[in-house]
Structure 1
Amino acid sequence: MTDRLGLARAVALLAPVALLGGALISQYWGGLFPCEMCYWQRWPHMAAIGLALLAILLRRTAGAKPLLALAAIAILISGLIGGFHAGVEYGWWEGLTQCSTTMASGDRSTILARIMAAPIIRCDVAQWELAGISLAGFNFIFSTGTALLILALMAKGRKV
């Protein structure tokens, strides 16, 4: 028999470690520099790692299951941010940050000041794609799927 909660805890730890690790590898060894929304996707993964570690350390206590659920929610939040970011990259909607919004309002000096203050890495342009899916899109797919898997494993009970 397999311990479903043990599997859920392992997934809750390993998935964000792998996704965050992939982001850092692509940044430091792949030359893909993150935009502001890329950083937004990393924070929930970091929180999920901490929550999953606590759920593992406290697995025999009553607080372990809520910590595991919070880890799944953090992973889901990262995925949803990734989905929003992918939509900005695909041009489905405008982003919320200066790295993707239009700055064409105001006089010339104001517009120039905004351009000079804007981040170098644009949030509305995917730096890398595979089969038409950007890194933000992949984060949406993997993080959302992982969060749903963790929650499903938790809902099915402790033992198979």
Structure 2
Amino acid sequence: MLMTGKRDFRRVRVVGGVFILSGLFALLAAYGAERFLHMVPCELCLWERRPWRVLIALGALTLVLSPRYARWPIIGGILCLALSVILSVIHIGVEQGLWRSPAPSCHMVVTHSDKASDWLNHLPVHPLKPCDLPDFPFGLPVSMTTLSGIYALIVFVLALKIAIRVFRRVRRDQKKG
């Protein structure tokens, strides 16, 4: 599938723009929740931010590359969004008590000693929020993780739909021309 022409160039740029804007929105929302709502992120919350950072980079790469090679960052961006949805589902399951957190910092080390020094040695360097303790912003009965997962799913479906449409149009235009 070779992409050429000004029309193809514009079509591919839409996908890159969606990647950049949705990634920026997700990271700014997380920053705002920390800064203004005073929510402390757990380790899984920090894991969930990584795909959004990569998505922004892939969106920028999509804007810079020629349309011929832009399909690879688009596919990578779709995979980042799928990973974001998967991480949200994992975190929601931890919050609901369906399974244990895969993040090692979310587990408390049990010491079988009566000495306070043993207990203090097993404490983390900085205080951490447990991964199974959800935050409920805006007084809604929906956790921040659930809102993040819904957002990731919406962006995933939207980006996939746009990418499929772009790839089909490009293929159709190449067959005509």
Q: Would you say 1:134 and 2:140 are equivalent positions?
A: no
Question: Which of 114, 123, 127 is the matching residue for 2:131?
Answer: 123
Q: Which has the larger radius of gyration?
A: 2
Give 1:141's aligned amino acid. Answer: I
1:102 CA drift (Å)? 5.4
- Counterpart for residue 107 of structure 1: 112
Aligned pairs for 1:1-160 (under 5 A) are 5-58=12-65, 60-101=66-107, 103-104=109-110, 106-108=111-113, 112-113=119-120, 116-117=123-124, 119-129=127-137, 131-156=140-165, 157-158=168-169
Give 2:15's aligned amino acid. Answer: A
Aligned with 1:158: secondary structure? helix
Give, in whole Å, the separation in 2 of the partners of 1:65 and 1:12.
Answer: 13
Instruction: Provide the alpha-carbon RMSD of the alignment.
Output: 2.6
Unaligned runs of 5+ in 1: none
Give, in whole Å, the separation in 2 of the partners of 1:153 and 1:84.
Answer: 27
Give, in whole Å, the separation in 1 of the partners of 2:92 and 2:85.
Answer: 10
Deviations along 1:79-110, whole A, 9 cap, x unmatched?
A: 21111111101111111224433544x52269
Q: Do the aligned residues in 2 keep the contact of 1:99 with 1:124 (CA within 8 Å)?
A: no
Runs (4+) off by over 4 Å: none
Give, in whole Å, the separation in 2 of the partners of 1:112 and 1:134.
Answer: 32
TM-score for the superposition, normalised by structure 2:
0.75
Identity of aligned pairs, percent?
A: 21
- Counterpart for residue 174 of structure 2: none
Deviations along 1:11-32, whole A, 9 cap, x unmatched?
A: 2111111011100111122211
